[in-house]
Structure 1
Amino acid sequence: MSISLLRARSARLTGLTAGAAAVALLATACGGTGAGSGSASAFSFLTINENTTVKTALTTLSTGACATADQALPLKVDTVPQASLDQKLQLLAGQNALPVQFAAGNAPATTEQLVKAGKVADLEARLRQLGVLDQLQPSAVSTIKALYGGKLAVLPYEYNIEGIFYNKKLFTANGLSVPTTWDQLVAAAGKLQSAGVQPFAASGQQGWPLTRLISGYLYRSLGPSAMQDVADGKAKLTDSQYVSAAQQVADLGAKGWFGKGVGSIDYDTAMNEFLTGKAAMLYMGSWALSNIADPEQDRIGADNVGFMPFPAVTGGKGAIDQYPSNVGLPMTLGTQLSDSKVGAWVSCIAKNYGATALKDQGSISGFKVNSTVPDKNAVTTQVRQTIAASKQSVLWFEALFSTKATTVSQTNAASLVTGAMSAQRFMQTVQDALDGR
């Protein structure tokens, strides 16, 4: 599996909420008062087999910028399959044996249970004490707090923003400028279609690249609280303005702008359609930068790829600089963060991780980059500058959904854009799943 697909999967998993049984087990297991006792004997780190980015960067730091911290408290990495992570965390929490740092579960609900049980350090307070809170990008902090009830519960070892990648050459050839409003985007897509160019590539098989268009429209029309209002019961997906957003996306599909057979298109195929010039635009996260930087995949050339935010909706309450974002597979720290040796490690990570991950792996994190690291291409520079300038982020369509509602949403997304399911029926079906029906 490609790194980009792992990141995409990680981005999607971040939005899932744990099943009731798993949360109940975790709440029971977390009856203790801490994540271990006494001083740490190692900077122990539990992560998943599928994610090699973080452990590779930390290993590099242990022999480089953080060598002093490592000599005082050696890095020790353990891994488990991602499917076994939540069960492993429950077991370790019940034994009062959580490591110093660990992948925080496949769902925000799992992490929230650990926080409530006193198993996770007060990261914001401790990072402020260490003098390194300012080493986190404000937009990454905003994303984390949106996911975890206003708390800085995890560290942003990965940070992805989402928007629309576009083919500069195709735009120029068809006399198009970058659209800043939804109406302009629709007009541009129509002009491309008339010229024989498929406007959008999207994976109907995965579903989420389509539902993210719905939430994008909702955030621009109703404002950044659009999906939180649904989660809080202040609004329903069946409300007229929510159905209207789904209808806007359905209309794109009705005009054939996602190409033929969108329901059977998988992630890699959609990526290939864009990178080989068969489609002019691709809604995707910044994890796609690794695909764009790979000349074997990117046949149109990285210099011909641009990035634009989801456009504004005329009269809407949202702002164009509010980017949907996620922190990949979240990582957090146990209560040993009060240990001075652990603090030295964390301070070093905060100051050096961003540059190390970017230089060695081309991975963008939510940490600031404090040394000069040449970007692989102009679009990477653009995305990094966008992240640095962004002050507020929003989530994605299923971020606050239950597992059932997430599945229902993503499996029916293709039916919405092919006309097999109306916008009203799609939103009703997802709302029913949210309501437990």
Structure 2
Amino acid sequence: MRRTLTTAVAALALCLTVSLSGCAAGSRGVDASDVDPAGSVAPREISWLLSRPADGAVIRTMRELAAEYATSHPGFRLRFITTPDRPSYIQKYETLAAADKLPELFDTDATPFARKLAQHGRMMDAGRLLRSMGLYDRYRPAALDYQRFDDGSLYMIPFEYQAEYFWYNKALFRKAGVRVPKSLDDFPAMCRSVRGAGVTPIALDGQDQWPLERYAVYQPFRTAGPGYVRQLKQNQAKFSDAAGRRSANWLSELGKAGCFQKGFSSVGYADAQNLFTSGRAAVYNIGTWELPSLATTALDPEVRDDVDFFRLPVTTGSVTSADEFVTPSGIGMAVNSRTYDPLVRDFLKFALTRYPARYAAAGELSPTSDAKTVLPRNATPLYARAVAAAGDVGKDTAVPWDTQLDPTSNTKFQQELVLLVQGDISPSDFVSTMDSVIGRNAPRYAK
């Protein structure tokens, strides 16, 4: 989920931040709180700008629902504008936003850029919208909370729900003589033992950068709670604080212990997954979106019965509990207030009312609590256990930092993480660099 802004996009974003009315076409559409506008439903084509797998369950389900809606509303069509590559998508989305050319529906995380759009009334109030449709209370609190801005406001609608676990190979743990770590601080020792048994300790997709960034989240989330990153991105907290230094030191120790495969920074998603599913790596940190690959008979039978999972371990003095970890609801969908009208509302109510059951029937975890996941016919017992564990979560969620930090700081953060784990820079150098980078860039996005 790396974000790279060109000079042109940065200029447009600045234009949006400084003077929206001067950059855009002027006021039109409805107020962001006017979720039930008067008027008749006039079918037409509407568009959804999104960043999701074209063959994924979200798009498949919404395509089916749009077709059903069109049978009773001739002339209606939902057009999917798909850019699965996240960096390219974000560049397109921010460019269109700054030029006031976003379609009726568009994907976004709860980023500083999205917050600017909401502050300028460019996104419908999703909380108010869902309540007006009688749907709000159906959603899992964790799914909605993941989409919220720091002030608690909700402008994005979740279409999925996930839980991120540490999947591990029991046979490889036995071979190395190690047990499931009870604390994050047990990871370096676990890695050294597994490495000593001739096995890669942890499979990591280093090429996409966000998986390594997850590891940077864990120590601060346990020792300081979810508020640390909110303060960090506003330059109200520092990496030089205890939580930041502990994270930097831990990441450095993971590198020294050889936790990740050699050359991890150039290993892609599919190769990292294959390293674990082929039995050549002992641990793989990934979400329940990978259940079809990890908990069905599609998995190699020589590995299948040895795969299990554990949740994010706690630490000494942890301020968050074992049932609080990374439970994302994916990138959210925002509703453009500039193009919102009775048709958009009517279609969304039709689709969102039916979506959870249809989505869960495909073996997915619904963002609502009232739709039970239908296990695939080829599911192993692990599938049901993983789904059940995803429903047993606490109040606090460890949010991915790439949706929190400003884009310039996040890009530098990802680069420095690789150098830190590789041993090319020291923890103190890492801390000093990141405090300097955030100190320069955060104020521009905090305004």
Structure-1-length-normalised TM-score: 0.82
Aligned-residue sequence identity (percent) comes to 26
Equivalent residue number for residue 158 of structure 2: 156
By how many angstroms is 1:143 displaced? 0.9
1:5 paired residue number: none
Q: Report what 1:248 is aligned to.
A: 250
Name 1:32's counterpart in structure 2. 27
- Is the 1:277–1:299 Cα contact (8 Å) retained in structure 2? no
Secondary structure of 1:373's aligned partner: coil
Listed one character per residue, the Cα deviations across residues 338-388 of structure 1 (whole Å, up to 9, x for unaligned) are 86654443334334323323434x554523452561243444433432332
Specify every segment of 5 or more residues in structure 2 that has no aligned partner in the other structure, as ranges.
Answer: 32-36, 84-88, 442-447
Structure 1 residues 363 and 24 mapped into 2: Cα distance closer, same or farther (>3 Å)?
farther
Shift of the alpha carbon at 1:176? 4.5
The reply to whether residue 436 of structure 1 matches residue 440 of structure 2 is: yes
1:111 and 2:118 correspond: no
Query: Counterpart amino acid of 2:11?
Result: A
Change (3 A) 1:107 1:132: closer
Q: Which runs of 5+ in 1 are unaligned?
A: 1-8
Tell me if 1:367 matches 2:381: no
Counterpart in the other structure of 1:62: 66
Contact 2:123 2:336 (8 Å CA) reproduced: yes
Pairing partner for 2:134 from 113, 119, 131: 131
1:414 to 418, 425, 440: 418
Q: Distance in 2 between matches of 1:49 and 1:191?
A: 40
1:138-287 equivalences in 2 (<5 Å): 138-145=141-148, 147=149, 149-174=151-176, 176-287=178-289
CA-CA distance at 1:279 after TM superposition: 1.0
The alpha carbon displacement at 1:314 in A equals 1.0
Secondary structure of 1:165 counterpart: strand
Q: Structure 1 residues 125 and 302 mapped into 2: Cα distance closer, same or farther (>3 Å)?
A: farther
Answer yes or no: is the 8 Å Cα contact 1:135–1:350 preserved in 2.
no
Is 258-267 or 207-216 further displaced after alignment? 258-267
Counterpart residue number, 2:399: 395
Distance between the aligned counterparts of 1:34 and 1:379, measured in 2? 48
Partner Cα distance (2:438, 2:157) in 1: 29
d(CA) in 1 for partners of 2:136 and 2:333?
16
The letter for the 2-side match of 1:420 is D
Residue number in structure 2 paired with 1:3? none
Q: Structure 1's 372 and 412: CA in aligned 2 closer, same or farther, altered over 3 A?
A: closer
Amino acid of the structure 1 residue aligned with 2:47:
F
* Counterparts of 2:339 and 2:387, CA distance in 1: 29
Q: Aligned residue for 2:313?
A: 311
* Matching residue's letter, 1:79: I
1:173-218 alpha-carbon deviations (Å, 9 max, x no partner): 5554433322444443343233332221223444332232121111
Counterpart for residue 444 of structure 2: none
User: Deviation per CA, 1:20-44, whole angstroms, max 9, x where unpaired?
Assistant: 5333334332741435996553472
Q: Which residue is 1:85 aligned to?
A: 93
Contact 1:140/1:159 (8 A) holds in 2: yes
Contact 2:112–2:404 at 8 Å: present in 1 too? no
> Does the 8 Å contact 1:136/1:350 carry over to 2?
no
- In the aligned structure 2, how far is the partner of 1:138 from the partner of 1:435? 33
Q: CA deviation at 1:256?
A: 1.7
AA at the equivalent of 1:414: V
Contact kept, 8 Å, 2:47 with 2:103, in 1: the verdict is yes
Q: How far did 1:144 drift?
A: 0.9
Q: State whether structure 2 residue 377 is matched by structure 1 residue 382.
A: no
TM-score by length of 2: 0.80
Separation in 2, partners of 1:206, 1:76? 30
SS of 1:436's equivalent? Answer: helix
One-letter code of the match for 2:318? G
Find the aligned partners of 1:34 and 1:118 in 2 and give their Cα distance.
10
